[in-house]
Amino acid sequence: MSKRSLTIALFSFWTFAAFGAPSTEDPELAQAKVEISEGKLDQAIARLESAADTGEVHPDVAFSRGVAYLRRALSERAKPGDHGQATAGFRETLLLRPGDQEAALALEQTRLAVARKSATRGEQVQDTLGLGERALLWLDPWVLFWLSVGASALTTLGVVLVRVGPRSAKSAASLLAGICASVLLVSAPLTWLAATTAESLDLGIIIAERAPLLDEAGRARKGVAPLREATEVRILESRGPLLRLSFGEGTSFVRADQVRRLRLPR
């Protein structure tokens, strides 16, 4: 068995173990796939957007929507914002199912395509999310939680052995308790931070080719480059037709119709 096959097998096992039983075919998704393969991309997009409009939140629906937009972005009928919409679909999939490797690959490739397109125009895709926020979003709070629980259990065992164990085991027990306590001290705050970040962050993707940064009154800010398509942004609040974004150390506004908010179950 090659290393790749082993990885896939392990990943499949992990997916099965983590997310339960295998799924059955969904008629709407199947129909959307047929439409995509026939080139009826608008119909497929309408179908998948309709599902989103009904309030359905599902990683596979979001993924298929991303694929439909991506296909249209690469076709002759591309519309401005298709790359951004595709990015939003894949990003939503990853937020809903952090271990989805295919979505991670699709997201990366779509962003590369946007970056390539921007680079040919001499523009640069900015990143408005901080490194910390990005890292915390990447972490799975539940994995960290179980890591904390395990470290806590081992620390407790070490403590018990230090106090009541045989003299010969006390050194090893001290070492075990020390290492596990260190892990616990790191993983527990990270768990809390990752959970609160995932709960409180309101994320969106720019779906216009350029989204000019505006001031509170909706006037374009001079001397500030617009946000490029597919940029991930953190939304602080909605003010009528504008959204206030966290932008580096400050905040800025963009038009709400230029941002697709990522839908996450709260």
Partner 1 sequence: MRTGAAVALLAAASVLTTFVGHPVAHAAEVRAETAARRVAVGQTFTVEVTAILDDGDGSAQGPKLPIQGAAEVSGPSIFSQRRVVMRNFDVTTENNVVATYEITPTQPGRLVLGPGSFTVDGRRLEANTLTVEVVEGPAQAAPPGRTRRRDPFGFGHDPFGQDPFGQDPFGRQPTDPPSQSPFDLFRRRSGLSAYPDAPAELALPNAPNDIGFLVAKLDQPEAVIGEPVVLSIYAYGARGAFREVSPTEPALSDFLSYASVETSHEQPFYRTEIQGREFLVVKLRELVLVPLRAGQLEIGSMRAILRGRGYPSKNSPLGTLTESPPLRLPVREPPQTDRPPGYRLGDVGRFELAATVEPREVEQAGFFSVKLSLSGRGNVPGSIDMPEVPGVVWGEPTVRGEVSVEDRELVGSRTLEFTVRATTAGTIELGKISLPHFDPATERYRIATAALGSIHVTPRAGAPAPSQDPSPSTAQPGEPTLLLAIEPRTNKGAWRAARSAPPVWGLAAAVLAPGLVWLLLLVPTALGALGARLRSGRSKQRHLDFGPLIALEKEKGRAELARELEQIAYRLIEEKTGLRARAILKEHLAARMTQAGLLGQLASDLQALLIELDAARFHVAGSTEAEASLAERARPILLSLWKAPSARKDTP
Residues 67-106 that bind partner 1 (CB under 8 A): 67-68, 70-72, 74-77, 96-97, 102, 105-106
Residue 240 within binding range of partner 1, rule CB under 8 A: yes
**Which CB, 129 or 157, lies closer to partner 1?**
157
Interaction residues for partner 1, span 22-41 (CB under 8 A)? 22-26, 29-30, 32-33, 36-41
Contact (CB, 8 A) for 79 and 72: yes
Contact 93, 62 (CB under 8 A): yes
Nearest residue (CB) to partner 1, 129 versus 149: 149
228 binds partner 1 (CB under 8 A): no
Q: Rounded to an integer, what distance in angstroms lies between the CA atom of residue 195 and that of residue 200?
A: 9
184 binds partner 1 (CB under 8 A): yes
Q: Determine the interface stretch with partner 1 among 3-11, 48-56, 122-130, 245-253 (rule: CB under 8 A).
A: 48-56
42 binds partner 1 (CB under 8 A): yes
The token pair at 107 is 């997201």
**Shortest distance (Å) from residue 126 CB to partner 1:** 23
Candidate list 199, 215, 216, 237; residue touching partner 1; CB under 8 A: 199
Which one of 81, 84, 141, 226 is in contact with partner 1 (CB under 8 A)?
A: 141
- Say how many residues touch partner 1, by CB under 8 A: 86
Residue 65 burial (C-beta neighbours within 10 Å; 0-12, 13-18, 19+): buried
Using the minimum distance from each CB to partner 1, give the nearer residue, 3 or 266: 266
160 binds partner 1, rule: CB under 8 A:
yes
CB of 173 to partner 1, least distance (A): 12
The answer to whether 90 and 102 are in contact (CB under 8 A) is: no
58: Cβ–Cβ under 8 A, 6 or more apart, which residues? 96
DSSP state of 263: P
Residue 20 found at the interface with partner 1 (CB under 8 A) = yes
Contacts 24+ apart (CB under 8 A), 219-227: 221/252, 224/252, 225/123, 225/124, 225/126, 227/126, 227/128, 227/254
Residue type, 56: E
58 binds partner 1 (CB under 8 A): yes
| 241-248 contact pairs (CB < 8 A, 24+) | 242/214, 242/216, 242/218, 243/204, 245/128, 246/128, 247/128, 247/213, 248/128
Among 169, 182, 196, 237, binds partner 1 (CB under 8 A): 196
**Residue 21 in the binding site for partner 1 (CB under 8 A):** yes
